[in-house]
Amino acid sequence: MQGKGLITIIAIVLGLICLNELLPTWYASKIESQIEAANGNEKEIRRLKEDTLHLGFTDLYYAKAKDKEMKLGLDLKGGINVLLEINQRDLVNDLTNYSTNPVLIEALNRTDELQKNSSKSYIDNFFTEFDAVNKAKGANLKLADPEIFGNANLSEIKFNTSDEQVKSIVKKRIDLSVGTAFEVIRTRIDKLGAIQPNVQRVPGTARISVEMPGMKDIDKVKKMLQTSAKLQFWEIQQIQEVAPYFQTLTSTIAAKGDSMGVAKNVNFMNLLQLDKLRTSGVASVKLSDTATVNKILNSKVAQALRPANMKYTQFMWGYKPESTDTNSLVLYAIRGNINQKAPVDGAVESAKINYDELSRVVVDMQMDSKGAKEWKTLTEKNVGKPVAVTLDNRVYTAPNVVGAIPNGRTQISGNFSQEEAKELVDVLGAGKLPAGAKVVQATQVGPSLGEESIHAGMISFAIAFLIIIVYIVFYYGGAGVYAVFAMIINLFYIFGIMDSGDFTLTLPGIAGMVLTMAMAVDTNVIIYERTKEELFAGKSIFDAYKDGFKHALNAIIDGHLTTLLTAVVLFFFGTGPIKGFALTLMIGVVMTLFTSVALSRVMIFSRLEKGKGLSVWTAPTKNLFRNTWIDFIGKRKIAYAISIVLTVISLISIFTNGFRYGIDFTGGRNYVVRFDKPVNAEDIEGKLTNYFKTEDGKNSSVEVKTFGNNNQLKISTDYLINDESLKADQIIEQKLYEALKSDLPAKSTLVDFKSAYKGNTGIVSSEKVGPTVADDIQKHGILAVVAALGGIFIYILLRFRKWQFSLGAVAALFHDAVIILGAYSLFHRVMPFNMEINQDFVAAILTVLGYSINDTVIIFDRIREYLREKKSITLAGLFDDSISSTLGRTFNTTFTVLLVILAIFIFGGDNLRGFMFALLIGIGFGAYSSVFIASAIAYDFLKTGKEEEVHGKTTTNKEVLASK
């Protein structure tokens, strides 16, 4: 056999590489099991961690193995994933030196609005809006104008630099700034002590994806990542300057409170508690009243009433309550300016924890040269007056200036604990972000849920694997054993390649592996069914296998390439779990071709060349489908009628009943909450509805569904959907806790509830998707489906050189997609599992399309073969012969895959049930549509119209047909 030696060498080398990559995972797991068995014996644990395994070609010890072990995703290990977005308006403001040019300001405001529903980059939209505003106002400004980008911050821009050149320069600077932010974020994560963190820039955006398996405190992570570390120093206005304004607001509320978002009987001066004021602030407000004060001060009415001396004033809260009054926050009035740029806005060169004369924790800092100069000027100007030290619009301290500070040294005191001071030093030490950052998407999975997912995933994997082994050996006998052996090697290679590529294994990735196993079965089925045909034709066992592999190759390549095309589309257009699924599928497609075709061929012919036989059937399966012949073309009109009815029902439901959209399509927050007793979803939803009300008193959307067991709920809400701050997350978690408190264990605290690690009750996972991210996910999902359909149409056209085949294939795929959508529309209210339209659903649709086209390609390949060999005297007979001759393959593959999917659906955990339900429907209808839609439509458009439809088993009864 040609190439036998090369294939064997590749298999051995690949196997050794995979073994070397997987050994650390095995060793780390072994040591951790022994550590757990040590029951806290420190001496034994220390010995185990320091023990070394000598293997000759490598030495393994725990720390090294742990660092190199396979990465597990959040859904398998628990942890935190956040998607950060760098504020590009801040970057533009910085590059324009905080210009107040009205054309610039209006262009930025319009860009902010446009960005909510745009998939283009912020800067591209800004340039478009700037041109539009510039033209509308007749300003004739150039981007190189000193009031726009022609300033000291962009020295490479001269007065005669063209707009196109400026755009290029600005884009490069913004990209560099995002790169700087990426490095700062990565440094901060190192200081958090995360194990195997994964930090990546999202190409073409100002977003940074951060995944930290094993991390528990999401609030701490968000705070650490979002803090800009932009230390600013401001002059402040004291109570004497702002008191008249507060008095005006008090009397205005009595008349216009409704338009300010508060009741008319609210006494603003009482809320301010001026009698308690002991600092240089302008108010001391109870924590429970801060939201009301914010509403009043930020209302349009209050803004319009500001006197001239407060036109640019910024109100900021203290970092935390003072030690003398732990229930209140101090409000400060920051003296702003037209561009709201701080007098001192410099980075910190170094920061360390220290103690003042009263042994209180403080943070000592040394500013950079620019900050030191500005700090000297500010302190000289404000001797005897207070100056506010702020970080991310929070006032940490506001001491009186005793004298000018020339050396850039200063100190922050803020009633710190040791841990808070360390967090601040870590943030300042990692460097400042070039602009503000916000969390636009976040996912948290508790370790208990991760362990359950691993357990469910492994059980479904094992059951699916067992089903495949039993079935394929039962059906194909000795040849089936070789198929199983090739499949085991295939899985070993997939795990090894994922580990060597530092890829992360997720629950959807495990599902992708299971589908890869099904695809490997499909490959072997195609080969063995062709081999059986050759044996029935009277060929020897050697020649039968030789021709079986030869004739099956085209169909296998076509099927794998269409699946690979779908996986590539999923990878490039998908996000998060879809990428994990697609990546596993891509690796699986390539490895299946190698193991089930090349390597399997080497193993089989090595046996045959020794004169040994190899059965390709068992007694019960030998003649299954052998003489089966069905007049499919003659029955196509009945199938058309059934499909039309199902399609119409689906479309009616889609347009009237609609769908349940997941938060990754609409934006919002999901929480999976576990209780220690069964709870009623409708009762809980009623309780929550009263808590989630908007400022105008209207109810926000709240949906509660049982998730898996009846002591676990999935709670979805769009409350504060446009507020992506950490504070908004904390408000919602507080409301959830208060609403559910009566259903939680008696001693459950808010801290316990937010992270269900103790007692296993509370929030076991959470997810937040901002509206802009949701819009991007939705658009990418639609693009993925369109791209997949377009790619498949073109591929079929190129392979079969007849547009009729492409039309039939795409029509069948459209049919399958509509049926699945119809099922999700019809049953999403009644099924006991999640049936949301989300990015997982898009992955399911594309998987079905890939599988369905694979089925269709097998039939089309046989039709093409029969057309070339002119095996029938009528087109209808030829189509019937082709479909009937592939029935064995269609049944075996569909039946096996459905059994595998059913195993995952039942045992694979709650997160995968909706995904697998779509596959169950899709695979079943995919097999149906390949025959009755794709083939039937291709026939109807290929026939001349003059041909008489003659039906019968044409390949063997030509004489009978001729006599008619």
- 175-219: per-residue pLDDT in tens? 888 888 888 888 777 777 666 677 888 877 888 888 877 676 777
Confidence band for 963, pLDDT divided at 50, 70 and 90: very low
Reading the block at residue 465, the tokens are 């694997």
pLDDT tens per residue across span 815-869: 998 999 999 999 887 787 778 887 778 777 777 777 777 788 888 888 888 887 7
pLDDT tens per residue across span 256-275: 888 887 888 888 899 998 88
| 473, pLDDT greater than 80 | yes
Calculate mean pLDDT across residues 611-635.
84
Range 400-403 contact pairs with CB under 8 angstroms and sequence separation of 24 or more: 400/280, 403/379
Q: What is the pLDDT of residue 164?
A: 92
| 694, pLDDT greater than 80 | no
pLDDT tens per residue across span 30-77: 888 888 788 778 888 888 887 787 777 677 788 778 778 887 777 677
Q: What is the pLDDT of residue 577?
A: 64
pLDDT tens per residue across span 303-330: 999 999 998 999 999 888 877 788 888 9
Cα radius of gyration rounded to whole Å, the chain: 34
pLDDT tens per residue across span 216-259: 677 777 777 777 767 788 999 989 999 999 999 999 998 888 88
Q: What is the pLDDT of residue 104?
A: 92
Q: What is the pLDDT of residue 956?
A: 40
pLDDT tens per residue across span 742-788: 888 887 888 778 776 545 788 888 888 877 777 777 777 777 777 77
- Compare 489 and 262 and report the one with higher pLDDT: 489
Lowest-confidence region among 260-269, 279-288, 355-364, 568-577: 568-577
Per-residue DSSP letter, 725 = S
In contact, 840 and 578? CB cutoff 8 Å: yes
Query: Burial letters for 713-736: b for 16+ Cβ neighbours within 10 Å, e otherwise?
Result: bbbbbbbbbeebebebbeebbebb
In contact, 32 and 63? CB cutoff 8 Å: no
Q: What is the pLDDT of residue 32?
A: 80
pLDDT tens per residue across span 909-939: 666 777 788 888 888 898 899 889 999 998 9
CA distance 342 to 329: 23
φ/ψ (deg, to 5) at 293: -60, -40
In contact, 516 and 586? CB cutoff 8 Å: no
Range 738-745 contact pairs with CB under 8 angstroms and sequence separation of 24 or more: 738/691, 739/684, 739/687, 739/688, 739/690, 739/691, 740/673, 740/684, 740/687, 740/688, 743/675, 743/677, 743/679, 743/684, 744/675, 744/676, 745/676
Q: What is the pLDDT of residue 118?
A: 73
Calculate mean pLDDT across residues 708-716.
82
Q: What is the pLDDT of residue 684?
A: 87
Q: What is the pLDDT of residue 872?
A: 64
Residue type, 34: Q
pLDDT tens per residue across span 85-127: 888 888 888 888 888 889 999 999 999 888 877 777 889 999 9
Confidence band for 950, pLDDT divided at 50, 70 and 90: very low
Calculate mean pLDDT across residues 454-480.
81
The percent of residues above 90 in pLDDT, for the chain, comes to: 12
In contact, 724 and 773? CB cutoff 8 Å: no
| 559, pLDDT greater than 80 | no
| 587, pLDDT greater than 50 | yes
Residue type, 507: L
Q: Token pair 């601040």 is at which residue? A: 424
Which residues, in sequence order, are CB contacts of 575 under 8 Å at separation 6+?
777, 780, 839
CA distance readout (Å), 327 to 320, 321, 386, 927:
10, 7, 24, 66
Which residues, in sequence order, are CB contacts of 619 under 8 Å at separation 6+?
none
- For the chain, how many helices (H) and strands (E)? 34, 22
Q: What is the pLDDT of residue 692?
A: 82
pLDDT tens per residue across span 369-415: 888 888 888 888 888 888 888 887 888 888 888 888 888 888 777 66
Which residues, in sequence order, are CB contacts of 610 under 8 Å at separation 6+?
none
Confidence band for 964, pLDDT divided at 50, 70 and 90: very low
In contact, 306 and 262? CB cutoff 8 Å: no
- Compare 101 and 952 and report the one with higher pLDDT: 101
CA distance 524 to 603: 13
User: Is 0.85 surpassed by the pTM of this model?
Assistant: no
CA distance 104 to 93: 9
- Compare 276 and 10 and report the one with higher pLDDT: 10
Q: What is the pLDDT of residue 641?
A: 94
CA distance 494 to 307: 69
| 361, pLDDT greater than 80 | yes
In contact, 389 and 231? CB cutoff 8 Å: yes
CA distance 592 to 494: 10
Calculate mean pLDDT across residues 287-315.
89
pLDDT tens per residue across span 499-537: 888 788 776 777 677 678 777 888 888 898 889 888 888
Per-residue DSSP letter, 829 = T
Q: In whole numbers, what is the pLDDT of the chain averaged over residues? A: 82
Calculate mean pLDDT across residues 22-27.
87
Q: What is the pLDDT of residue 884?
A: 87
Per-residue DSSP letter, 713 = E
